[in-house]
Amino acid sequence: MMMLKNKWFKFSLVLFLLPLVCILVTYNKLPAQVATHFDFHGTPDGYMNKFLGLYGVWAFMLLLHIFCTFMTFKDPKKSNIPEVGLRIILMICPVICLMVTLLIITYSLGYRFDMTFIMNILIGFIFIILGNYLPKIIRNYTIGIRTSWALNSDENWSRTHRFSGYVFVLSGMLYIIFSMLGYMFIGLGIILISSLLCFGYSYSLYRKGI
């Protein structure tokens, strides 16, 4: 298979060894139950057996990564995905897996911090990064604002992604600002409104014959 020959896919699999090493090194020092879910105030409200909470999450992220990579390489318009876009896709799951593993381990070892705040800040930066990248994406079936109207028109796709780029950057900045002000719950509203704006703009272009 082509994906097995891709050097960046191989590198992404190597990255998955990092959280696994972290788990192996600290496993015997961790309590039987580890916090895996936190409320809007950063207080843990969900616990799991440490084996499932660490090895289970790691295995799930690895399988998700393989599935997403497989679907990306099956995209009939894969040639339209720029190399940097493919690298970003291949780095998402291993990086998230490493971050989540480190956060769970450090919290379980007694280091106290506001988990929700950290995750919201990270999400905000992800939005900003994606916003800068969206206008550069050429029409494909894997990444981007994949409305039926955009997928059927290069002009609709191009305009939608330029508009969405601004929306994502602004949303990321608002996400960070509101998180710093303590309004964690507003993040869900920002994501919803951003999605509606992007889809709505694509539809409005379609209505104009674009």
What residues contact residue 137 under an 8 Å CB cut-off, 6+ apart? 81, 82, 85, 143, 144, 161
Q: What percent of the chain has pLDDT over 70?
A: 94
**pLDDT score of 40:** 65
pLDDT tens per residue across all 210 residues of the chain: 566 777 888 899 999 999 999 999 999 999 999 888 776 666 777 788 999 999 999 999 999 999 988 888 887 776 667 777 778 888 888 998 998 899 889 888 988 777 777 778 888 888 998 899 888 888 888 788 889 899 999 999 999 999 999 999 999 999 888 888 877 677 778 888 999 999 999 999 999 988
Cα–Cα distance measured from residue 193 to residue 58, given in angstroms and rounded to the nearest whole number? 31
| pLDDT tens, position by position, 61-118 | 999 999 988 888 887 776 667 777 778 888 888 998 998 899 889 888 988 777 777 7
| Conformation bin of residue 137: beta by default, left when phi > 0, alpha when psi is -120 to 50 | beta
